Amino acid sequence: MYLEYWKFKEKPFENTPDRRFLYPSENHRDGLQRLLYAISSEKGCAMLSGEYGCGKTVLVRTVVNELDLNNYEIALINYPFFDRTTFLKEVVHQFGMDSSDKSRVELFRDLSQLFYENVTHGKRNILIIDEAQIIDDPEVFEELRLILNIQLEDRFLINILLVGQPELREKTMLYPQLDQRIAIKCHLHRFDHENTAAYVKHRLRVAGCEREIFSEEALYLLHKISNGGPRRINNVADLCLLEGATRKSPQVDGEIFKHIV
């Protein structure tokens, strides 16, 4: 609706995990490097935490896109709201194997065989669990520990990436045998004012606009209203662009915010 008015090639503030729009703040760069290191060095288990809307999903997508998928077998589980057996079956299913009517022993045997065969043929195994903070069955955490135990003497056969909101850190600490296996932990923080402004300008550039659309006052108010959360920034900034186009304003300024907040 406002693309033509602001002369964008595409909308700059969509809440979709498009890695082109990932703003490389120092915090996000550090998180990306740590996760890639955990995978390349076969650390076994890593954790990415952050508050709702801080860019975890985009960062994980970026990690996956940095990998040569010819050398990796990747399984992804979203919303792991399962009991112990169902969780294990879902892991087997996401790795492309039949999990119906099998016992836990058979499921573990299938995973062990797949992991070993992949490693033998030069492929690494990765299990990504998103929204891991919703795991509420203690035995699921025990399953994760047991899956990590599928290893050779000198290397893990599986790398697990746990992704979730801040309470995930507290949850895993309740299970020391798993927590001590999480070799790398990184946490995404909300943006300060400086990074909020840089984030907005970055997304505008990716969308095809180089000029300063948001005034300094607007950027200040945007950070204040969003508290530095990327998803909230996107929502508010998108409304600002719509309101500015409707009012035919040459710039998003403090006056625009009076009409959307």
Task: Kindly list the structural domains of the chain, giving each domain's residue range(s) and its CATH number in brackets, ordered by start.
Answer: 3-21+191-258 (1.10.8), 26-188 (3.40.50.300)
> How many other CB atoms are found less than 10 A from the CB of residue 113?
12
**SS3 assignment for 168-232:** HHHHHHCCHHHHCCCCEEEEECCCCHHHHHHHHHHHHHHCCCCCCCECHHHHHHHHHHHCCCHHH
**Average of per-residue pLDDT across 197-222:** 96
**Average of per-residue pLDDT across 191-213:** 96
Mean pLDDT of the chain: 94
**Average of per-residue pLDDT across 168-182:** 95
Residue 80, pLDDT score: 93
Which residues are registered as beta bridge partners of 156?
151
Task: Check whether 261 has a pLDDT greater than 80.
Answer: no
Residue 257, pLDDT score: 87
Q: End-to-end distance of the chain based on CA atoms, in angstroms?
A: 20
pLDDT tens for each residue of 217-260: 999 999 999 999 999 999 999 999 999 999 999 999 999 988 88
* Percent of the chain residues past pLDDT 90, beyond the cut: 89
**Average of per-residue pLDDT across 37-46:** 96
**Average of per-residue pLDDT across 47-58:** 92
Asked if residues 1 and 8 have their Cβ atoms less than 8 Å apart, the reply is no
* Percent of the chain residues past pLDDT 70, beyond the cut: 100
